[in-house]
């Protein structure tokens, strides 16, 4: 069994952050989104992993993620020259996949459920495809499945205007090698892409063994700012344990589940968890509210932050209005002068400098 993780694409919904980096490397609770998928796959016992990368961000993904040693896996990087669809990514990866069954995992997705139970169903029932579904409020934004009462898939539709159900396809799929034959027999969609939904539909039409199962836990597609903040909140709620390694002065107050990394210094600060603060940060005269993630080497002075993600090397100084629901990019610099509104919301890309007067 192998795994194929898709970490290409342009990440247009997360711009300006993704002008300068891969969307799959944007951190959730100070860990790249991509790494959660790798860890989940390894936990299911799959250690031979291929990662689809793009020409624009592939070097960054390789440099950040490495060859797999940190995860107990072997990672092979596969270049997809153009974002021509999920099925096209599988086609590009066919030399790596060979005749092995595999799990395909979209690198900007997060799911709560462990993969082992789905892998067991796929292998024990000798399926050609197993897809995961989740009920959503806006099915027209996703691939949607029409499912019979016995769990059999009737048809799949990509982003339908009139969805036949509210069951969206989660970005995790299990395939036997027959999927390569299906991909070879489909044509590009009106978007000009080879759609994985069309390939699965081909298997259904050929009466192959295709089944679906519904997720019980949460599923997050982190393609937009609000989705990223929601993922950050859930991960902090679920996994952050109190661990204070950095220095906290006598005037600072820390409550709840708070993790503070080595070399970080807090002076006259109030922190209410769940919160994670990385290494070598300097925080002074700050309030850090729940569901905030602060990456390494961040400087915050005279600043209040709540429900936000601050990326590595950012500097936020002399802001006397609370920053909420914000994502601030790497090495960004924010300075605000008096007489601003009571709350500020930002989506700031890497290396920006913003001054509000």
pLDDT above 70: residue 336? no
pLDDT of residue 57: 87
Residue ranges, comma separated, of all CATH 3.90.550.10 domains in the chain are 2-235
pLDDT in tens, 247-274: 999 999 999 999 999 999 999 999 999 9
pLDDT in tens, 61-90: 999 999 999 999 999 999 999 889 999 999
pLDDT of residue 11: 46
pLDDT in tens, 107-130: 988 898 999 999 999 999 999 999
Phi first, then psi, for residue 36 (nearest 5°) are: -60, -40
Under the banding of pLDDT at 50, 70 and 90, the label for residue 348 is: low
pLDDT in tens, 288-325: 999 999 999 999 999 999 999 999 999 999 887 889 99
Under the banding of pLDDT at 50, 70 and 90, the label for residue 10 is: low
Instruction: Say which CATH superfamily domain 2-235 falls into.
Output: Spore Coat Polysaccharide Biosynthesis Protein SpsA; Chain A (3.90.550.10)
Mean pLDDT computed over every residue of the chain: 89
Hey, which CATH number is domain 240-356, 3.40.50.1820, 2.160.10.10, 3.30.56.10, 3.90.1300.10? 2.160.10.10
pLDDT of residue 15: 46
Distances in Å between the Cα of 225 and the Cα atoms of 19, 139, 145 are 14, 19, 26
pLDDT of residue 337: 60
Strand pairing category for 129-135 and 167-175: antiparallel
Q: What would the mean pLDDT of 193-199 be, rounded to a whole number?
A: 92
Joined together, the tokens standing for residue 205 give 């039409």
SS3 labels along the chain: CEEEEEECCCCHHHCCHHHCCCHHHCEECCEEHHHHHHHHHHHCCCCEEEEEECCCCHHHHHHHHCCCHHHCCEEEEEECCCCCCHHHHHHHCHHHHCCCCEEEEECCEEECCCCHHHHHHHHHCCCCEEEEEEECCCHHHCEEEEECCCCEEEEEEECCCCCCCCEEEEEEEEECCHHHHHHHCCCCCCCCCCCHHHHHHHHHHCCCCEEEEECCCCEEECCCHHHHHHHHHHHHHHHCCCEECCEECCCCEEECCEEECCCCEEECCEEECCEEECCCCEEECCEECCCEEECCCCEEECCEEECCEECCCCEEECCCCEEECCEECCCCEEEECCCCCCEECCEECCCCEEEEC
Joined together, the tokens standing for residue 236 give 């902090």
Residue ranges, comma separated, of all CATH 2.160.10.10 domains in the chain are 240-356
Under the banding of pLDDT at 50, 70 and 90, the label for residue 4 is: very high
Under the banding of pLDDT at 50, 70 and 90, the label for residue 243 is: very high
pLDDT of residue 153: 86
pLDDT above 90: residue 170? yes
């Amino acid at each position: 069994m192998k795994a194929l993780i898709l970490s290409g694409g342009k990440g247009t919904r997360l711009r300006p952050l993704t002008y300068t980096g891969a969307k799959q490397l944007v951190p959730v609770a100070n860990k790249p989104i991509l790494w959660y998928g790798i860890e989940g796959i390894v936990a299911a016992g799959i250690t031979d992993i291929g990662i689809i990368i793009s020409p624009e961000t592939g070097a960054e993904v390789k440099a950040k993620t490495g060859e797999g040693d940190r995860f107990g896996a072997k990672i092979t990087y596969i270049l997809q020259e153009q974002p021509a669809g999920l099925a096209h990514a599988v086609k590009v990866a066919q030399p790596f996949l060979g005749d092995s069954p595999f799990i395909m995992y979209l690198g900007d997705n997060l799911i709560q459920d462990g993969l082992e139970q789905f892998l067991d169903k796929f292998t024990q029932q000798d399926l050609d495809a197993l897809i995961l579904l989740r009920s959503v409020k806006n099915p027209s934004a996703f691939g949607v499945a029409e499912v019979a009462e016995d769990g059999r898939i009737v048809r799949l539709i990509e982003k339908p205007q009139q969805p036949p159900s509210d069951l969206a396809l989660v970005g995790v799929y299990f395939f036997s090698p027959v999927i390569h034959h299906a991909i070879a027999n489909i044509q590009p969609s009106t978007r000009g892409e080879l759609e994985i939904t069309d390939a699965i539909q081909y298997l259904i039409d050929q009466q192959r063994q295709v089944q679906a199962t519904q997720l019980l836990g949460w599923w997050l597609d982190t393609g937009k700012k609000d989705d990223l903040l929601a993922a950050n909140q859930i991960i902090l709620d679920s996994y952050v344990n109190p661990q204070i390694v950095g220095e906290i002065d006598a005037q600072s107050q820390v409550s709840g589940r708070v993790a503070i990394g080595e070399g970080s210094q807090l002076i006259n600060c109030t922190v209410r968890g769940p919160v994670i603060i990385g290494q070598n940060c300097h925080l002074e005269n700050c309030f850090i509210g729940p569901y905030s993630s602060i990456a390494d080497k961040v400087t915050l002075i005279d600043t209040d932050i709540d429900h936000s993600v601050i990326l590595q090397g950012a500097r936020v100084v002399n802001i006397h209005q609370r920053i909420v629901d914000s994502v601030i990019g790497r090495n960004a610099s924010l300075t605000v002068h008096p007489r601003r509104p009571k709350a500020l919301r930002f989506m700031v890309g890497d290396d920006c400098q913003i001054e509000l007067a």
